[in-house]
Structures are given as structure tokens and as C-alpha cells.
Structure 1
């Protein structure tokens, strides 16, 4: 299983914004430079985070992006779903009506169970916790 690069950049951006203790707006250029990205590409990712209600955008010369939700409330799953959506990672390719006893695909059931466990783990892991560890390593 693989998430897009956009998810990688979104998670790192959220960590950088969480480390911004004054919660001042940070411009897209500065956020892009931290990750060696084009500001245009990062803007598309930031737009998804804004739409998901995780960050806010402030227009103007001193504008930029900052956290909207309290830092401890944003989980990895929140960020991943903002970028990737909420669709399942696995879809059975067989016609469920043709499977024996109409019990559905057993392989799909195993995959869905594993995905539920992964989502629970990601939902219990907060960006603020990772940001705190990043800060401790810098000190």
C-alpha cells in the first residue's frame, strides 16, 4: 500500500505548522522551501487542508497558513483523509453476486479488517506528538 507524495508533504507541513508556537501565518513560499517543493504544488495540498478544516488561509502581504484546529486534535488520519479521501484501499475485483453463498468476498473482508486496524492506529497518532518529538531531537 502506498500513499501519494502529497500526503507525505501534507503531514510534514502540518508538523511544521504545529511547531509554529505563536501560530502565526506562514507563507506558502516558506513552507515550500522547507520541503524543497514548488509553491504552486504545495498550494494545491494546502487548499485540501483548508477545505478539511485543519488549517486556515490568511490573505494579504502578511498572510499565509496556520493551524485551525487545536494541535492535539489533528491525527494522522485527519490529514491523510484530507488528501487521499475516504475511499478504501482495497476493492474486490469479483462480482459479489457470483460468489458462493452470497457471503461476499472473504479476501475483501480480511483486507477491510486490516485497513480498519490501520485507520484506528493512524487516528490515535497525533501530529502534535510527532512535532514534539521533532522539537526534542533538534534541542
Structure 2
């Protein structure tokens, strides 16, 4: 199974947004710059994440994105489904019923056994993704990091994080 590049970009972006301060946002351009990806391509996925209720969007020149809920409440499956959609990765088109020398229809009363096996595998795959939250990923990375990865991210966020106008007004 091959997932699109958008899934990787979305997962990394959501993980990065989990490190923002209260009221902080990052622009799509900043997220794209940090990850070395196309802003327009990433923007499409950020919009999908917003539509799925994973991200909050703040429009305008000082706007950007932040998590709509805690990182502990967002699973890898949530992100994958937001980007790739809910349809199964394997789609059976019943090619077993095509071609020369057709067999009687009674052989096709039950779903294709190949399709059934693929859907069982996808259920397991999705169950595994549903077990892992963005907070879990951050905890795993923190355990492996000697401080270098955190320092890189913190330095970037310190320069690019914006406060939403709502937050800035309440502090001013």
C-alpha cells in the first residue's frame, strides 16, 4: 500500500503544531519551509485537516494554523483519513467476472476472497494507526532526541510563530 506524500507532510505538520504556545499559529508557508515542501501542495492538506476538525484555521496576514484539539486526542488514523479519505485503499473491481469463458454467477454470490483478505488487512492497519496519537509520536521522539531535534524545531517556531489577533488583543 502506498500513501501519498501528503500523509507524511500532514503528520509532520500536525506534530509541529502540537509544540506551539497557547494562542500561537504557524502559516502554511512556514510549515512548508520547515519541511522543505511545496506550500501549495501542503496547503491542500492543511485545508483537509481543518475540514476534519484536526486543525483550526485563522485567516489573514497574521493568521495560520494550530491544533483544534490536544495532540493526545488526534490519532495517526485521523490524519490519514483526513488526507486520503475514508475509502479503503484496495478497491475490488470484480475482474474475476471478466474475460473469456465466463463461469456461472453463483460463483460470485460471496465477495471476492482477495478483496476480503485485503479489507481484513486494512482493518488491522487502521486499528494500529488508531492506537497511536500525535502525543505518542512526540513522546517517542523526545525519548530518542539528544536535544538537537527539539532545538531545531524550537528555534524555527520562535521566529515564525504568530499570535492570533484574538490572543494578542486579550494580552494588549
Q: TM-score, normalised by structure 2?
A: 0.73
The residue aligned with 2:36 is: 36
The residue aligned with 2:76 is: 76
8 Å CA contact 1:96, 1:102 repeated in 2: no
Structure 1: runs of 5 or more not aligned: none
- Determine helix, strand or coil for the equivalent of 2:92: coil
The residue aligned with 1:104 is: 111
Larger-Rg structure: 2
Q: Distance in 2 between matches of 1:86 and 1:100?
A: 29
Q: How many residues align?
A: 139
Q: Distance in 2 between matches of 1:32 and 1:101?
A: 48
Residue 130 of structure 1 is aligned with which of 134, 137, 144? 137
8 Å CA contact 1:6, 1:83 repeated in 2: yes
The residue aligned with 2:17 is: 17
The residue aligned with 1:56 is: 56
Moved more, 15-24 or 94-103: 94-103
Structure 2: runs of 5 or more not aligned: 98-104, 148-172
Moved over 4 A (4+): none
Cα displacement (A) at 1:27: 1.4
Aligned CA RMSD, in angstroms, stands at 1.9
Q: Distance in 1 between matches of 2:106 and 2:78?
A: 35
Q: TM-score, normalised by structure 1?
A: 0.90
